[in-house]
Amino acid sequence: MEYIANFPREHLREREDAFHIKRFEQIWGGDHLLRGREPRDGDIHLMSNDYLCIQDEPALRKAQAHALLNGKTDLLMSSIFTLEGSSMQQLEAAFASYMQSEEAIICQSGFAANVGLLQCIASPSIPVYLDLNAHASLWEGAKVAGARGIAFRHNDPAHAERQIKRNGPGVLVVDAVYSTDGSLCPLAEITDLAERTGCILVVDESHSLGTHGPAGAGLTVGLDLAYRVHFRTASLAKTFAGRAGLIACPARFKEYFRMESNPAIFSSGLLEHEYVWFLEALSLIRGADDRRRRLHTISKSVRRSLDEMGYDVGGGTEQIVAIESGDERETRRMRDALQQAGVFGAVFCPPATSRNHCLVRLSLHSGLSEADLDALIERCSAARSAM
């Protein structure tokens, strides 16, 4: 305790005070913006990214439990030491086939996949062109690579082309479905642009893998672009309801990545029951066309209803419905009104958004019944009236 009491805090105090005093006490009024009140029975929860509702599937849980109780001892080491024929390699082969890719690499998370990938393909002499709404992990990857991160306007290939002509070929980075507003990337135009300008193309499929394309193989496969996009990444903590990341890549790149990517080298691999979960989940998701159709129908319906009520749901079209809420004080009022009405979404604020463009994000899922949807629209209407 004496060590803690005498810890030299001066260099941290200013930054801590900026959060605890200015942000938490003054702006948020002592009420954590991302939390609010405790949910009650009957409230509608739209915070999870389990878009096809597989987390509670009995077959998946049984398979994982069996692996935990009867599986072999795990290798608690970096995955670069994993031997031929391992569960990791079986899963990578399954995802490569699913995504029509030469190879796939399992990573510790979507963040690790994006940071590790960009560390390996960008450098101080190779700029990275990022859509303004690209995920934070992609921006962090450019930073780790020492590359210039050059922004282009959201979903604006023409502006991206002007940036590339001004600064030279590099790495062009987009999301297939953007996590902040649910908008769909104009991927065919972006792919043409990458080829025309000599750029490496990276597409983050975190919010489209499992939900878009044939058998859920992603937007890239759905648009028949699998052999034109150089790299695809994904977080498997969305539709696949687990905890890992993925890179779809050329075969020659795989071992280079394993030996050059710091997140891959210096993190332990997954555990046996996690590989089992993903293999079972992949089988289920391949055959989940009814759930995918339901998800897309729900997304269109909810967006239309919220727009008619006067909510600003931006330019999105997919299962992520982001309600623009303004600055953090205005966002707290919107969060409280929705929660009071019994609707729980996820609050997005800086650093996930810009300062005055916070969001309350509703992540829709295929398990919502017609009664659930009626209740959701009724409650959102009540919250709108209260605001």
Which tokens in the block code for residue 168? 């030279």
* CA-angle at 38, arms to 45 and 294, nearest 5°: 0
Element at 325 (helix H, strand E) = strand 320-326
At residue 41, does pLDDT exceed 70? yes
Can you give the residue ranges of every domain in the chain? Answer: 27-52+289-386, 58-286
Residue 171, helix vs strand vs coil: strand
Give the model confidence (pLDDT) of 260-270 as tens digits.
999 999 998 89
b/e sequence 93-115, b meaning 16+ C-beta within 10 Å: ebbbebbbbebbbbbbbbbbbbb
d(CA 259, CA 264): 8
DSSP 144-168: HTT--EEEE-TT-HHHHHHHHHHH-
At residue 36, does pLDDT exceed 90? no
Give the model confidence (pLDDT) of 304-319 as tens digits.
999 999 999 988 999 9
- In this chain, the answer to whether the domains covering 27-52+289-386 and 58-286 adopt an identical fold is no
- pTM for the model: 0.94
Let me know: does 140 contact 173? Beta carbons within 8 Å.
no
Let me know: does 137 contact 110? Beta carbons within 8 Å.
yes
Average the pLDDT over each of 26-30, 187-191, 236-240, 335-339 and give the range with the smallest value.
26-30
According to CATH, the topology of domain 27-52+289-386 is Aspartate Aminotransferase, domain 1 (3.90.1150)
- What confidence category does residue 144 fall into, taking pLDDT thresholds of 50, 70 and 90? very high
Instruction: Please give the CATH number for the structural domain made up of 58-286.
Output: 3.40.640.10
Which residues is 323 bridged to in the sheet?
A: 360
d(CA 320, CA 303): 10
